[in-house]
A and B are shown apart, each in its own frame.
Chain A
Amino acid sequence: MKLYLYGIIDSSNQTEESIYGLEGSGVYNIPYCDIGAVVSEISQPIQEVTAGSVLEHETVVEKLMANFTVLPVRFQTIIDGRDNLLSIMQSYYRDFKDNLERVSNKFEFGIKVIWSADKMKENIIKALNKEQQKKLEPASSSGKKFMKEKFEKYKIDKEFEAKADKLIKVMDIFFSKFAAEKKLTKLKTENLLLDAVYLVEKPQESNFREVFEHIKSARSDFKYLFSGPWPAYNFVVLSKKSSLLREPEQTNLFDKVTQSQTLVGVDII
C-alpha cells in the first residue's frame, strides 16, 4: 500500500477533525514515539502535477497547522508502505524533533520586491557620466576600446549591485526585528530585487505585517508581494543522510539530500 506523505507533526495523536487529501482519501497520523507522519493512502503515483492537486496537498498542511507544528514535506512524496515510513521516521527522528522544536509556534512569510532595473541603471549611468572618468584614455586600439566598454559596464553593474545591497539591508533591518530566521535572495532576476522568506513567531505576526506596510508606503515606486502565513517550508534542515535514499520507492522525499543538509519543504509561491 502506497502512502502519500503530507508532513511530520509534533503529535502522535490522531487529528480531531476529518481531513481528506488527494484522491479524496482520509488523512491520518502514523505515530512514531511522540511525533507522527500524516498520510493518506494513494492508489497510483501522481501522473501529472495540477493546480488542483497542489492545492489539495496545501489544504491538508494548512488544516494541520491549525492544531500542530508541521514540517511540510515536498509535494508528491509517496512512501511504499507503513514499514518504510516508520523506518524513515526512525532514521530521522532526532532531526524531525529538533526541527519541530525550532519552528514551533512560528509561521513562514514570503516577501518579494520588484524594482525597475532599467530605471535604476539609467540613473546610475547619469550619475557616472557626471563623474570624471579618466581611468582609461580615449580608446585608440581595438583592445583598449574593448576594455573601455567592459569597464563602463563593470562600473554600472557594480553600482547596481551596491544599490540593491543597500536597499535590501534597510528593508531587512525592519523585518528582522520581528523574525526568528530569514533567507534572502538578492536579484534573482534584474527586476526581482528581493525574494525573502522570514520565520516569524506567531505573536509577532501583526508587527511583521505592520513593518511590511510601512516599507511599502516608504518606497511606493517598488512593487511588493506578501504571502503567508505558511508552514516553515524553507526552514526545515536535516543533517542526517538517509540510508534509504537509493531505494526508488522513497520518491521525492529527500531528493535534494546532501551530506551537509537537506531541505524538506517546498517553495509554493
Chain B
Amino acid sequence: MITSGIVETDTAEEFIEEIEKSKDALPEKIDANPKTVEKGLAKLVLTLIELIRKLLEKQAMRRVEAGSLSDEQIENVGETLMKLENKMEELKGIFGLEDEELNLNLGPLGDLM
C-alpha cells in the first residue's frame, strides 16, 4: 500500500509565498520584558481599540447601505470615524506598530480580526 504523502503543484513558489504571508499575519505573543513592556501593552490596547473601530465602521457602512442614515448623520459619523482613524495612525506611529501587528490569536477560535 502506498502511504507516502506527496505534494503536487505547478506553482510551488507562489504557495510558499502565500503560506509565509499567512504566517506573518499571525501575531506574536505580547512581549512583556522590561524593555518593551510599554510597546507590548500598547499593542494589546490598540488591538482592542482597532477591533471596536472596525466594528463601528462596518456598522456604519451597513446603515449607509440600508439607507437609514440622514445626510447629517452621515456627515457626523464620517467625521467621527475619520478622526478615530487618524488618531489610531498617530498612536501606531508613536509605538512603532504596523497594521498587521494589531491582532490576537484566540487559539481554537482563530484570529481576533
Contact = CB atoms under 8 A, between A and B. Distances in A.
Interface of A: 58, 62, 65-66, 107, 112, 114, 135-137, 141-147, 150-151, 154-155, 188-189, 191-192, 195, 223-230, 256, 258, 260-261, 263, 268-269
Interface of B: 1, 3-12, 14-15, 18-19, 21-22, 25, 57-58, 60-61, 64-65, 67, 71, 74-82, 107-108
Contact of B71 (A137, A146, A223): A137
Contacts of B25: 188-189
Contact of A144 (B1, B15, B18, B78): B78
Contacts of B4: 62
Nearest to B65: A135
24 contacts: A135-B64, A142-B79, A143-B74, A143-B76, A143-B78, A143-B80, A147-B78, A147-B81, A150-B61, A151-B61, A151-B64, A154-B65, A192-B18, A192-B21, A223-B14, A223-B15, A225-B15, A226-B8, A256-B107, A256-B108, A258-B107, A260-B108, A263-B108, A269-B7
Contacts of B77: 143, 147
Contact of A258 (B9, B64, B108): B108
Closest 9 CB pairs of A and B: A143-B78, A143-B79, A147-B78, A225-B9, A154-B61, A188-B22, A146-B82, A143-B75, A65-B3
